[in-house]
Amino acid sequence: MKGKILKKILAILTVFSIIICSSHAVYAEPAETSQDVLALQSESVILIEAKTGTVLYEKNPDERLKPASVTKIMTLLLIFEEIDSGRMSLDDTVTVTEHAASMGGSQCFFEQGEQQTVRDMIKCIEVSSGNDAAVAMAEHIAGSEEAFVQRMNEKAQELGMVNTTFVNACGLDADGHLTTARDISLMSAELINKHPDIFDYSTIWMDSIIHKTARGESEFGLANTNKFLNQYTGANGLKTGFTSEAGYCMSATANRNDIQLIAVIMKAETKEIRNSEAGKLLDYGFAKCQVYTDTQVLEGLPEIPVERGTKDYVKNRNIEEYTLVLIDEDKNSITKSFEIAPDLKAPITSGDTVGKVVYRIDDRIIGEVPILSDENIPEISFLYSLKYIKSKFLIGGNK
């Protein structure tokens, strides 16, 4: 080690400029597959693998349409964000306002002043698609439905839902209240990936709440509006919708063999067409799709050397796992290799790319993961060299 340091010092003393070498790898996304093989009747559809967002099938996915109660996916996403942040709990009490109680369409018939827990309000939104429950939660979180809708639109932009504009929190038809199948798939994936507790509610078939009003208490039954749950093996959500203008809509989620798919249907003519075509999409996806997950991404990675730095090797950040979707390919054919940045020189900053993990089938690259530095490594300066010489040689140093 002492000899290496001396060589570095000599290089610093004779060279006053250092070429900084950096490499920036990018994740290689699996290619999208879009084939007109299902001949679906619905106006717009998309099928994605939930974890990676890989598009498996699409038809008019960016056509702006009314989403009806599928809107409530965004409402639920913001509710779960409030819960997970600690700003709200499932046991908090929500008071129904006159505005919330006035909502038409699908509702749970709350009265002004009635109180329910957040937990029961989520049931009412997810299971019975209660417009009154959705608006009551919007007001509880943001102070008004208008303020909550602003948050919905901000979240939509954050998720890349570039063709979406929300006007209300429940999905009743309104001028300008529009989204797309692709955008619905984005918010659906965000909800189920970041807040999997939604499945505790989306899979409820029958339940009930207790209405508590000035006239006393009464039980109110909740029946899931998503009949697809009992029609498709592996179905676990997510949200249906219907209005006369929107037609029949749905974001259908299903899981088989640890593969989670999302099928979005917009503007189907009938409920039967909507459910049938969701099933066709999911069958298509499960037949073609394999998910490959590497849980030991950096196993076997050699030490990464650094030239002209205060350390000889750079410590890299851990990568817990890498997942990609294979379409009509065998995951057992995948090979993995490490490509280290050549002639890596200090200074190195934490977060710099110092190499990449490359996944291939035959000679074709199907995925890449950047290897990042987990520490700062300064270049050897003249002052560092003098201090090193003094500590190691002039005053004894380590022996």
Q: Which domains does the chain have, with CATH numbers?
A: 2-29+295-394 (2.60.410.10), 44-288 (3.40.710.10)
Whether 75 and 134 have beta carbons less than 8 Å apart is answered as: yes
Question: Which of 128, 129, 202, 276 is the catalytic position?
Answer: 129
Whether 356 is catalytic: no
Counting residues of the chain whose pLDDT is more than 70, the rounded percentage is 86
Mean pLDDT in residue range 166-176: 98
Confidence of residue 16 (pLDDT cuts 50, 70, 90): very low
Whether 69 is catalytic: yes
Instruction: Write 53-57 long-range contacts (CB < 8 A, 24+).
Output: 53/185, 53/186, 53/189, 54/29, 54/30, 54/324, 54/325, 54/327, 56/261, 56/284, 56/285, 56/288, 56/289, 56/325, 56/327, 57/33, 57/281, 57/284, 57/285
pLDDT in tens, 86-97: 999 999 999 999
pLDDT in tens, 246-297: 999 999 999 998 899 999 999 999 999 999 999 999 999 999 999 899 999 9
Task: Report the pLDDT value the prediction gives residue 392, as an integer from 0 to 100.
Answer: 62
Residue 389 has pLDDT above 70, yes or no: no
Mean pLDDT in residue range 7-17: 39
Give the pairing of strands 353-361 and 364-372. antiparallel
Mean pLDDT in residue range 171-175: 97
Residue 397 has pLDDT above 60, yes or no: no
Among residues 105, 156, 155, which one has the least CA distance to residue 134? 105
Average pLDDT of the chain is 89
Whether 72 and 239 have beta carbons less than 8 Å apart is answered as: yes
Mean pLDDT in residue range 37-64: 95
Task: Report the pLDDT value the prediction gives residue 388, as an integer from 0 to 100.
Answer: 57
Residue 22 has pLDDT above 50, yes or no: no
Any residues with CB less than 8 A from the CB of 308 and at least 6 apart, and which? 8, 11, 12, 18, 345, 346, 379, 380
Counting residues of the chain whose pLDDT is more than 90, the rounded percentage is 81
> Whole-model pTM above 0.85?
no
Question: Which of 72, 123, 155, 267 is the catalytic position?
Answer: 72
Question: Which of 8, 51, 59, 69 is the catalytic position?
Answer: 69
Whether 276 is catalytic: no
